[in-house]
Structures are given as structure tokens and as C-alpha cells.
A and B are shown apart, each in its own frame.
Chain A
Amino acid sequence: EDQVTQSPEALRLQEGESSSLNCSYTVSGLRGLFWYRQDPGKGPEFLFTLYSAGEEKEKERLKATLTKKESFLHITAPKPEDSATYLCAVYSGGYQKVTFGIGTKLQVIP
């Protein structure tokens, strides 16, 4: 059974203080790994898809990387508007077999 573990559960940063969120996964044949952002009271918003180890993708202050066992979401010089819960998910078989982590709740203090 696919498993996704995200750490830390919560992270509090000062504005401008860079950090990384971790997503460790156990799957039988990774086909893709997703990162989503979720604001309170809203559905998850797609950020990135990574397919193979060594792949990297960037969007504004966010950069996602992938190894054979984990993915990192690096946040450079975060702003208060980056505060949200960040979700990681993997799929290994058919598209319906998407497994989500519980998420990391990020708070950026001005």
C-alpha cells in the first residue's frame, strides 16, 4: 500500500526566512508526485507534478525537487501570503490510486 509522510506537521517562519518541507513516500513504482497548496476553507490548488528522480520545478518562491524516496518543497524568502497547508500526493498505478499526505501547515509571520 502506498504511503506518504509529510514533515514537519507545522512550521512557523519569519518573513524572508527560507526553509524546506519534506514529503517521504513508499510506493510500488512511482508514476508521479504532486504538490498542492490548500488555504483554509478552500480546495487544494495544484502547484507541481514531478515524475522522476532529479527533476526540479519552480514557481515564484517555491521550488520542488524529487529523489527516489522523498520530495522537498523549498520556500525562498517567504511572504505572509505563502501561509497555507501544503499537501503532497503520489500515484503509482491507475490514476485513481492517488495517496495524499496529511500536509504541512506553514505560517509566515510578518
Chain B
Amino acid sequence: GAGVSQSPSNKVTEKGKDVELRCDPISGHTALYWYRQSLGQGLEFLIYFQGNSAPDKSGLPSDRFSAERTGGSVSTLTIQRTQQEDSAVYLCASRLKDTQYFGPGTRLTVL
């Protein structure tokens, strides 16, 4: 079946611009995660959605980062006023039982 999809696959932006990253989870998976992966670093948890519960935003690095999940399915991660240190691969995962299934990621480059 279809896996987790993310778009765009690559995004190059200028410092100070806003960006939106999209994640389409596997159908039926109620939990959705966003992670950030920087070179030489482990996956950094950003935010977690579970059903209709309030999201766990404890991993968001600053108030420039926000995310929403509409209709319990598609999620959008928004980064406002991007900085060069935001450059990384942003990964989305959806979960069935205790296993997370990852999308291919969006590589964000901030010039």
C-alpha cells in the first residue's frame, strides 16, 4: 500500500522567508510525528499529533516553528522567518501500534 509521502522533496529558500512542508500519513494511522535530521545528528523530535488530542509541541525549537494537522490526516509544518540553522532534512512519520513509518523527507536549504 501507499506509504508516508512528503512534499516538496527539496526546498531552497532565502533567509527570512516562510516555508511550508507537507506530510500525508498512511491512511488509518492516527499518530503523526515531525522530526528534524541534521548532518551528524540523530533525529530530533519536533512535534507529535495523536488523534484529536492536543499536540505535543515540546520539541519545537522556537516559536517560528508551528504545525497543524487537518481532519486527522494531512499535516503541515510551517517555519516562519527561516534562518540558516534551519537547514536540515525534515522527516514525517505516522505510527501503527508502536512502529513509526517514515516518509522520504524534505531537504530544506536556507541561503
Closest chain B residue to A42 by CB distance? B104
Closest chain A residue to B4 by CB distance? A43
For the complex, what is the distance from the CA of A87 to the CA of B44, rounded to whole Å? Answer: 13
Residues of A within 8 Å of B48, CB to CB, are 95-96
Interface membership of B65, Cβ < 8 A:
no
Closest chain A residue to B104 by CB distance? A43
Q: Which of A44-52, A60-68, A75-83 lies at the binding interface?
A: A44-52
Residues of A within 8 Å of B35, CB to CB, are 100
Residues of B within 8 Å of A98, CB to CB, are 33, 45, 100
Chain A interface residue number, banded = 20 to 34
Residues of A within 8 Å of B21, CB to CB, are none
Q: List 30 A-B pairs, Cβ < 8 Å.
A: A4-B42, A31-B98, A34-B99, A34-B100, A41-B104, A41-B107, A42-B104, A43-B4, A43-B102, A44-B43, A45-B102, A46-B101, A46-B102, A49-B98, A49-B99, A87-B42, A94-B56, A95-B48, A95-B50, A95-B98, A96-B33, A96-B56, A97-B45, A98-B33, A98-B100, A99-B42, A100-B42, A100-B43, A102-B41, A102-B42
